[in-house]
Structure 1
Amino acid sequence: MSTLRYTEPEITADLVSEHGLTEEEYQKICDYLGRKPTFTELGVYSVMWSEHCSYKNSIAVIKTLPRSGPSLLVGAGEENAGLVDIGDGLACAFKIESHNHPSAVEPYQGAATGVGGIHRDIFTMGARPVAALNSLRFGSMSEPRVRYLLDGVVRGIADYGNSFGVPTVGGEIYFDKSYEGNPLVNAMSVGVVKHGETASAIAEGVGNPVIIVGASTGRDGIHGATFASEEISEASEAKRPSVQVGDPFTEKLLLEASLEALKTGAVVGIQDMGAAGISCSSSEMSAKSGTGMHIDLDKVPLREEDMSAYEILLSESQERMLIVAEKGREQEVMDVFEKWDLNAVVIGSVTDNGCVTYLRDSEVKAEIPADSLVLGGGAPVYIRETKKPAYLKDTAAADLSDYKDAGNIEETMLRLLDSPNIASKRWVYEQYDHMVRTNTVTRPGPSDAGVVRIKGSKRGLAMSTDCNGRYVYLNPRKGGQIAVAEAARNVVCTGAKPVAITNCLNFGNPYKPEVYWTFKEAVGGMGDACNVFETPVTGGNVSFYNENPRAAIFPTPVIGMLGLIEDCDQHTTGAGFHSDGDIILYTGAPRNGIGGSEYLAFIHGVTAGDAPELDLGFEFRLQRSILKLIRDGMVESAHDVSDGGLAVSLMEKAIFSGKGAQIKMNVPGESITEHFFSEAQSGIVITVKPGNETVVTYTLEKDGIPASVIGKAGGDRLVIEGIADLSVSEMQERYERVIPDAIARTQTV
């Protein structure tokens, strides 16, 4: 019990506004309560009705996405993460979430706690995390603060993930000035659980005890959810206390204790404490079950003295869970956590009145209808005004003819290797432990997607995070389609069948009509593609207000794609050339258009034109055909054509394998520049054993997929007849040095 008695401030219009609530929302709160709220109640509503928790500006749009399928075991949004049947009595839980705002203010802890939070979402489902990925966006590498943010974010991800003991097997990093003051840090976790051993975030059984387990509660992270629901400004630095502080070693103990406690059969429901802390877990568990909770905050283990009810309820201290146990069996659960040296304290019980009631100093500080707080219940839902951005007329009408002659193609190819969007990310992924638990099949780098073996099985999971924000900026609907298509194409290139997606939708201020129009169009594009690829959306995260005082970020709907490999020993392919003498084929669509390309942006400093061409039906047929050939053992390697176009795809195949190639191509009617640097979708470079090229070409063309032999692998140079003659070792050296050299500039300042 605290030694100080708090006098709660009077509720005024200014105080309501400071809590991020509108006058209309405040009146709605009064209507729900039948009276004016207390200060503590105002705080609870402010975090639970923040965009970060309530999705009040996005839920109506998100619900238009395809959210069901034969392999889904729970509906989108029903649990802490999506759950997909992967055969053999196993299921995969996976999810991606953002920690953008905290990482902009405190990059190390912001990124670290993002990793911790997403892993908790997975093992709260009863699944053991088996892999992690991330999707990162930063401003120009020429800026010292960008390099500082990159260094801090990567160290935060590495230190937390490595200590927690889950391999980081993939991800992506992009650099563009649009992310200058507002980096994006999206973390993804993938776990495996047996059917029948999953857990749910429910609070069933009146009288059942409510137990808080894990770390003690402090003042870190208070109003973190509200902080994530407003634009970043110079004042954000003053909100550093809103950034949580993580402890991966405690999280590891919490993982093992939680999975062990679930095996006792005494756990009715469990939910982690992420955004909005106890407020969120108690109200969401209650609302889901149609019950309530009576919580005595005097019993919550604290690490700071004299915390008020407001502070305890809104704290986002990490490594904590809320558990509802069977009455009379609570000691079984508590014994498990105490064995792992973790707090385990009964702080309340399940009630039947539908309210969450919070006591402090033996006084009721808040009593709120649980359903009024949550997404899908009483939380407000808005459909904002839309307006097509005026800039799209100018970018679409831009004359790109002056850029369609790259001049010396060889020189341009080498210059593209200097782009940090294309250059090696080894400096990043070598800080991550990607082999822990020994189930990693493909390392980050020389593969289009991460692959982990399902322990005790030949089967494997392939996973990828993808989105090119530049495409979405130029054509939101097509950009959303491409994000899904490329994510699917990447897992197909490893030999996996795309199964389902999670997503992290990073956009600007939804109250700006242009931003909201872009958001709706991008989500519509994602839905178009998911319907074609039969990859339902299992859940995810929306992150609005990604703006700095100068502008909004590129709209960036990141896709986390899950794929299933039937036999990792037979069906897994890499991106690099496989063996000397292998025949190289280009399969897929013509190389047309340079709009939105890395060539245009990096070489000429221009972001204009339309997003790259994409025919969803053709893309689906291409992926289906390539996957069948891989499973039939006909494909030795596969690498999709994306950033930098065909030229970069060929260079990367050589760099990844240390092998050269001799390429001879008949360039069609379009310009040579377009042929090599267009990022038109639906293109894959594959290699096959000599003698198999005829049957492979026939199979693809029978499915309506053009395919042509373009060369042979081998040697130490990449030779494109009449175009380029490049040393593989020199390309490797250039490719590897870009990011380390940039970081070194920061370290010597």
Structure 2
Amino acid sequence: MSLDTVKHADETPDVDQPWAELGLKQDEYERIRTILGRRPTGAELAMYSVMWSEHCSYKSSKVHLRQFGEKAPENDALLVGIGENAGVVDVGQGYAVTFKVESHNHPSYIEPYQGAATGVGGIVRDILAMGARPVAVMDPLRFGAADHPDTKRVLPGVVAGIGGYGNCLGLPNIGGEVVFDACYQGNPLVNALCIGVMKHEDIHLAKASGAGNKVILYGARTGGDGIGGVSVLASETFDDSKPTKRPAVQVGDPFQEKLLIECTLEIFREDLVDGIQDLGGAGLSCATSELASAGSGGMRVELDRVPLRDATLSPEEILMSESQERMCAIVEPGKVDRFLEICEKWDVIATVIGEVTDGERLEIFWHGEQIVDVPPRTVAHEGPVYERPYARPDWQDALQADDANKLARPASAEELREQVLKVISSPNQASKSWITDQYDRFVQGNTVLAQPEDSGMVRIDEDTNLGVAVATDGNGRYAKLDPYAGAQLALAESYRNVAASGARPLAISNCLNFGSPEDPAVMWQFAEATRGLADGCLTLGTPVTGGNVSLYNQTGETAIHPTPVVAVLGVIDDVNRRTPIAFSEEGQLLYLLGDTKEELGGSAWSQVVHDHLGGLPPAVDLDREKLLGEILISASRDGMIDAAHDLSDGGLIQALAESCLRGGKGARIVVPDGIDPFVFLFSESAGRAVVAVPRSEELRFTDMCGARGLPATRIGVVDGEAIDVQGQFSIPLAELREAHEATIPALLA
């Protein structure tokens, strides 16, 4: 078969093309023909198909994501916002921090180890491409039912992939989540986050400017792995037995990535690049079209110069390949030799594959024959935009009317004790140390807080002890009950977790995981969640810096719970003033901050004890969240509290158990007058935290809370070797620890 060149395409308008097999709709294919004024070549069709996929183009979500810009709060800390590889914020002292969370859901179901490993690799390169040194990673994870056989296949592979890749890179894994729910059966969520640090002047952007500047591809050779991978796979739904498309999942090499990181950072130090882009989803199709689109001219690429692992690859396959550990740089001609020298020093393959032109087209050639001639913006930034129909589902009213507050409650103190142990030992509330112990949390020596703390924290300046804290949170059960409130609850919890550690929240990234956008009920959930998140960020003053949308997360006709995962980044001037969750000194006074109401909808108690999901989630008061955050940050900075733990899944008793076990100290708890002990322990009312206050600071702390109007109720004291809820029950720490720590190893043995 002869090569499908631009000239040949122009001369053969009626050739049948596999646009449907590549995931395009007929109207999308016709639009490509209109843009080009002819049928596309095979290479052009490949590029448009991957770049116009749901994963790369955000074609179903763009109309809703615009709110993050339209409602963005004024924030002087934001240096780079939505639209680049990752957002960047000013954290003071000349430092900037970049962070982002993305998904690798579908590949991780097909091939758990490589799917998760390359998810880490991809997000690390996004951070590197901004000019930053990656300093830490996190991983919010969702799996099917904990006792389902397939969970035993997927979870160990995912965890091994995350640990294997991150540990080899020498990046500490400082936080994340592990949640089990039957709705994720056959469609796990593997979200990955990376944090990077740089000076302000080191920020780099993805653009190709300056006619005559060279396009250099460097890193690993291009192979057949991942052809159409995440870009096509993430735009597909799974049926009951297998994915409808099975492109190869990418294969990662963390040692190659480590060399690529160090090589790239040295290139940055010598100021050798004018623009840079990593090769992730959609591979060279993405890198070339996005660099050219964001630049001031065009680009000419000689595709046959691309170093290959497989000499049989066609031009279309080379353009679609998502082989890992590759970057694309724009370099001035006078700097090319030095660029190549540094790559050789680090044993990184580097090849000049093209140059920036003074035209307006992306032109790609194969052994002298032109196979691509397109306006780059139409590939990278002007794809389809759908206003998908959406409607509140018929079942939403019935779901909300099925009130969890009316479920049968423990009839005695003994039954209350039994339910406490049942919740604390349930898979979602149990210790995740079996998982997190497989990650290196302290490599590089700058980790200050890590799992199971409220947020991960790293020091970024050893002289001043400047640091940043990051937390990720999301509750699909809350969002199923009310997507608007559920998204705000995810934001509030992540914000609260950062503030509880003593850091001041600055900005957010998000990973929005939903079912098929072709389902009006799912699109309603998505629309409500994005509206809730945009409104919430405006109130809290935390702009969205970027993120990811993952759609088609469902098996057959069954969608996952809507799962907006929110990452909040905060700054702390001195990491020595951080606040841990551990109750560590006997005699510390325990205060409950905030109001406790009868709010059990979507709660851990309702799920574990009654296998129930219904009612309304806890009410959100973002002004109260902001006030609570200010109190926690001030108290941490001024030495008024020794420990703090936010209240969320599992309520007060879960927080008490975790803080007592973390510090190895018990607590005597008194139920305040006028509140049901059950509600006191299990309510999941938002805007709350429990803090340990030194006796010497009690008056100063309570005066501050009173002056600012935050309810602060003394509920007990750190004491003994048990959690003793007076008048109700006592649980020795040894029994509590056994219940809390045995569950996950037993499930996965």
Q: TM-score, normalised by structure 2?
A: 0.96
Name the residue aligned to 1:406: 410
Matches of residues 670-709 of structure 1 in structure 2 within 5 Å? 671-709=676-714
Tell me, yes or no, if structure 1 residue 49 matches structure 2 residue 55.
Answer: no
For residues 204 and 612 of structure 1, the distance between their equivalents in structure 2, rounded to whole angstroms, comes to: 51
Task: Render the CA deviation track for 1:222-272: whole Å, top value 9, x for unaligned.
Answer: 111011111123675585543100000000000000111122222111100
1:24 paired with 2:30, answer no
State how 1:255-270 maps to structure 2 within 5 Å.
Answer: 255-270=261-276
Q: How high is the sequence identity, in percent, across the aligned residues?
A: 44
**1: distance between equivalents of 2:551 and 2:202?**
35
Alignment of 1:219-230 (within 5 A): 219-224=224-229, 225-230=231-236
- Aligned residue for 1:500, secondary structure, equals strand
Equivalences, count:
736
State the Cα distance separating 1:72 from its structure 2 match.
Answer: 4.2
**What pairs up with 1:336-351 in 2 under 5 angstroms?**
336-351=342-357
Deviation at 1:667, TM superposition (A): 4.5
SS at match of 1:452: strand
- Confirm whether residue 374 of structure 1 aligns to residue 380 of structure 2: yes
How much does 1:591 deviate?
3.1
Equivalent of residue 370 in structure 2, options 364, 375, 397: 364
Among residues 373, 387, 392, which one is paired with 1:388 in the alignment?
Answer: 392
What secondary structure sits across from 2:333 in the alignment? coil
Report whether the alignment pairs 1:658 with 2:659.
no
The answer to whether 1:585 aligns with 2:591 is yes
Aligned-residue CA RMSD (Å): 1.6
1:400 Cα offset (Å):
3.6
Aligned twin of 1:318: 324
What SS does structure 2 have at the residue aligned with 1:109?
Answer: helix
1:295 match: 301
Deviation at 1:78, TM superposition (A): 3.2
Letter in 2 for 1:47: V
Alignment correspondent of 1:153: 158
DSSP-derived class of the 1:501 partner:
strand
Query: Following the alignment from structure 1 to structure 2, what is the Cα–Cα distance between the partners of residues 74 and 553?
Result: 35
Match of 2:743 in 1: 738
Structure 1 unaligned blocks of 5 or more: 745-749
1:72/1:15 Cα in 2 relative to 1: closer, same or farther (>3 Å)?
Answer: farther
Aligned residue in 1 for 2:449: 442
Structure 1 position 567 matched with structure 2 position 574: yes
Change (3 A) 1:529 1:673: same
Deviation at 1:124, TM superposition (A): 0.9
Tell me how far apart the structure 2 counterparts of residues 209 and 88 of structure 1 sit (CA, whole Å). 35
Report what 2:189 is aligned to.
184
The answer to whether 1:63 aligns with 2:70 is: no
Q: Is the 8 A contact 2:619 2:685 kept in 1?
A: yes
1:85 is aligned to: 90
Give the conservation status (yes or no) of the 8 Å contact 1:404–1:674: no
Relative to structure 1, the CA distance from residue 68 to residue 220 in structure 2 (aligned partners, 3 Å threshold; closer, same or farther) is: farther
1:511 aligns with 2:511: no
Inter-partner Cα distance in structure 2 for 1:439 and 1:112: 23
Task: Report the Cα distance in structure 1 between the residues aligned to 2:164 and 2:241, rounded to whole angstroms.
Answer: 28
Query: Do 2:4 and 2:371's aligned partners in 1 also have CA atoms closer than 8 Å?
Result: no
Contact 2:144 2:181 in 1 (8 A): yes
> After superposition, where does 1:536-615 map in structure 2 within 5 Å?
536-569=543-576, 571-615=577-621
Structure 1 residues 194-223: Cα deviation after superposition (integer angstroms, max 9, x where no partner): 111121111001111111000000011111
> What is the aligned partner in structure 2 of residue 747 from structure 1?
none
**Which of 111, 121, 129 does residue 124 from structure 1 map onto?**
129
Which secondary structure does the structure 2 equivalent of 1:736 belong to? helix
Question: Per-residue displacement from partner, 1:329-381 (whole Å, max 9, x unpaired)?
Answer: 21111111111111111011111222111111321111111011123xx2111
Aligned to 2:645: 639
Q: CA deviation at 1:674?
A: 2.1
Q: Distance in 2 between matches of 1:234 and 1:438?
A: 46
The Cα shift of 1:12 comes to 6.5
- What amino acid maps onto 1:258 in structure 2? T
Q: Deviations over 1:472-502 (max 9, x none)?
A: 0100000011111000000111000001000
Change (3 A) 1:50 1:72: farther
Confirm or deny: 8 A CA contact 2:403 2:616 kept in the other structure: no
1:632 deviates by 1.2
Determine if contact 1:67/1:538 at 8 Å carries over to the other structure.
no
SS at match of 1:85: strand
The CA deviation string for residues 298-321 of structure 1, in whole angstroms up to 9 with x for no partner, is: 100000022111000000000000
* Pair 1:658–1:250, CA change in 2 (3 A): same
Matches within 5 A, 1:241-256: 241-256=247-262
Contact persistence 1:182–1:548 (CA under 8 A):
yes
Q: Cα 1:13–1:739, aligned 2, differ >3 Å: closer, same or farther?
A: farther
1:6-43 deviations in Å (ceiling 9; x for gaps): 56999767722112112221121111101111121111
- Tell me the SS of whatever aligns to 2:596: coil
Instruction: For residue 263 of structure 2, give the secondary structure of its aligned residue in structure 1.
Output: helix
Cα deviation, residue 404, structure 1: 4.8
Q: Are 1:329 and 2:335 counterparts?
A: yes
Say if 1:683 and 1:195 are closer, same or farther in 2 by CA, change over 3 A.
Answer: same
Which of 403, 412, 420 matches 2:427? 420
> Helix, strand or coil for the counterpart of 1:387?
coil
Per-residue CA deviation, residues 383-408 of structure 1 (Å, 9 max, x unaligned), is: 11110012211111114454252232
Asked if structure 1 preserves the Cα contact closer than 8 Å seen for 2:108 and 2:115, the reply is yes
Which letter maps to 2:40?
A: P
SS at match of 1:16: coil
Output the CA distance in 2 between the equivalents of 1:123 and 1:640.
32
Q: Structure 2 vs 1, CA of residues 611 and 555 (structure 1 numbering), >3 Å: closer, same or farther? A: same
Q: Structure 2: which amino acid aligns with 1:702?
A: A
The aligned amino acid for 1:300 is: V
Q: Deviations over 1:594-648 (max 9, x none)?
A: 1110100111000111011221112211111221111111011000111111111
Equivalent residue, structure 1, for 2:467: 460
1:479 aligned counterpart, secondary structure: helix
Tell me the equivalent position of 1:208.
213
Answer yes or no: is the 8 Å Cα contact 1:463–1:560 preserved in 2: yes
Could you tell which deviates more after superposition, 534-543 or 353-362? 353-362
- Decide whether aligned partners of structure 1 residues 25 and 667 sit closer, same or farther in structure 2, where only a CA change above 3 A counts: farther
Normalised by the length of structure 1, the TM-score is 0.96
How far apart are residue 73 of structure 1 and its match? 4.4
Q: Is the 8 A contact 1:73 1:85 kept in 2?
A: yes
8 Å CA contact 1:595–1:609 kept in 2: the answer is yes
Counterpart position of 2:506: 499
Give the CA deviation at 1:724. Answer: 1.7
Deviation digits for residues 488-522 of structure 1, max 9, x if unmatched?
Answer: 00011100000100000000111111111110101
**SS of corresponding position for 2:554:** coil
